[in-house]
Structure 1
Amino acid sequence: MSTVKPKLYYVYDPMCSWCWGYKPVWQKIKQAVADDIEVVYVLGGLAPDTEEPMPEMMQAQIASYWKKIENFLGTQFNYEFWTDNTPRRATYPACRAILAAREQGAEQAMFDAIQVAYYTQAKNPSDNSVLVDLAKELGLDITQFETDLLALKTHQALLTEIRFARSIGGNSFPSLFLVKGDKSVEIPVDYKDADVTIALITSEA
């Protein structure tokens, strides 16, 4: 008799600074539970498409979030991003890049690449050109990637995934939800202690 593994949904956005701060703890959690639980990445979609430059007040506010995360968790950020780019409040391009990479089995690799480019190399993942360069660096089929990145079906798939994230309660990022049968439990995110979360997941699974 085959048993279906419980699912752990990780709701995220590739340009979410708290997801970057959470990364070391999340990696430990994922490795600890992966044998017994199916880990599923779900895009939450932080900010829709826009070509408008980000207002300076919003830039200052987001930079202050970075500083808060840096002080709280010791996470590194490259603040040259704010002077080297014209920031836009748009994470959907990066989300579509994740979906395009998922088609080639490279979702997590693209997630990592976007975070590193954004937060340590001061590159702008709101720009398709940056996302295409990352796909090249990952060795993806670039023709396929570019086609998928710009395809209407990819955008529709993103909107469907965002609706699913909201339906399970994923309104902030990162969020964790453990689903076993028809029971869904939100797992509180502890940004500093992987063991607390691992124990909670294990007890619920």
Structure 2
Amino acid sequence: MAATLIYCYDPMCSWCWGFRPTWNKLQKSLQSLVDANQLTIQPMLGGLAVDSDAPMPEDMKGKLEGTWHHIQSALGTEFNFDFWRTASPRRSTYPACRACYVARDSGLEDEMYHAIQNAYYLQAKNPSDLDTLTDCADQIGLNTEGFAKAMQHVKDKQLIEQEIQQARQLGLNSFPSLALLIGDKLTPIALDYKDASSMVTAIKKALS
């Protein structure tokens, strides 16, 4: 029976950005299992924060900037802290989640995920804004007019909300998180932000 490794994430989750290099290594380490049809890797959007046009409160801005500093010192992750001075932050990650969902249809979900992270964490652009997300879509080769229509469709049909509900039902409530689904048995995989090997071992053990 083929197993599914579910990777639950939010493109605006700073810990997901910190995890990215190790996640890339983990996927490479599992490629032989994917090629042998023993494992499927399935991204699932977590949805940190609903749609909002309200400016982010100052205390939350301070708290989140502090989280960035913590991740930088713990993992060596690069951040552009100008974001907190120049980008008019809002507590709203659903638009960025929708952009990844839209890109999935073209097989470009990971490319969109990475483009959003680069815009947000390195270029101090705000992925809560449709303009930023449209730029990301253009960068990865999506038609921007079609992208805008698809974004509205995903919003109207509440497709992100449905996926988030699925994640919650599976107990995937923190981001990033990993779980291995074999049949109807779900095995959480403990994250190691610095080294993929323990996760590879845990996944292979669960598969055997």
What is the TM-score when the length of structure 2 is the normalising length?
0.94
Q: Tell me the residue number matched to 1:184.
A: 186
CA deviation after TM superposition for structure 1 residue 34, in Å: 2.9
Write the deviation string for residues 49-84 of structure 1: whole angstroms up to 9, x where unpaired: 110000011000000000000000000000000111
Write the deviation string for residues 147-170 of structure 1: whole angstroms up to 9, x where unpaired: 011225565110110001111111
Q: Tell me the residue number matched to 1:14.
A: 11
- The amino acid that maps onto 1:5 is A
Q: Tell me the residue number matched to 1:149.
A: 151
Query: 1:155 and 1:94 mapped to 2: Cα distance?
Result: 16
Please tell me whether the aligned partners of residues 9 and 177 of structure 2 are also in contact (alpha carbons under 8 angstroms): yes
Q: Which deviates the most, 84-93 or 136-145?
A: 136-145
List runs of 5+ in structure 2 lacking aligned partners: 34-38
Which of the residues 184, 190, 196 maps onto 1:194? 196
Query: 1:38 and 1:122 mapped to 2: Cα distance?
Result: 34
Which of the residues 102, 121, 134 maps onto 1:119? 121
CA deviation after TM superposition for structure 1 residue 118, in Å: 0.2
Q: Tell me the residue number matched to 2:22.
A: 25
Q: Tell me the residue number matched to 1:77.
A: 79
Q: Tell me the residue number matched to 2:2.
A: 5
Q: Tell me the residue number matched to 1:59.
A: 61
Please tell me whether the aligned partners of residues 96 and 116 of structure 2 are also in contact (alpha carbons under 8 angstroms): yes
Evaluate the alpha carbon distance shift between residue 16 and residue 154 of structure 1 in structure 2; reply closer, same or farther with a 3 A threshold.
farther
Q: Percent identity?
A: 46
Please tell me whether the aligned partners of residues 96 and 154 of structure 1 are also in contact (alpha carbons under 8 angstroms): no
Query: 2:66 and 2:157 mapped to 1: Cα distance?
Result: 31
Q: Tell me the residue number matched to 1:35.
A: 32
Q: Tell me the residue number matched to 1:162.
A: 164
Please tell me whether the aligned partners of residues 10 and 174 of structure 1 are also in contact (alpha carbons under 8 angstroms): yes
Secondary structure of the corresponding residue to residue 177 of structure 1: strand
Query: 1:154 and 1:118 mapped to 2: Cα distance?
Result: 25
Query: 1:64 and 1:8 mapped to 2: Cα distance?
Result: 31
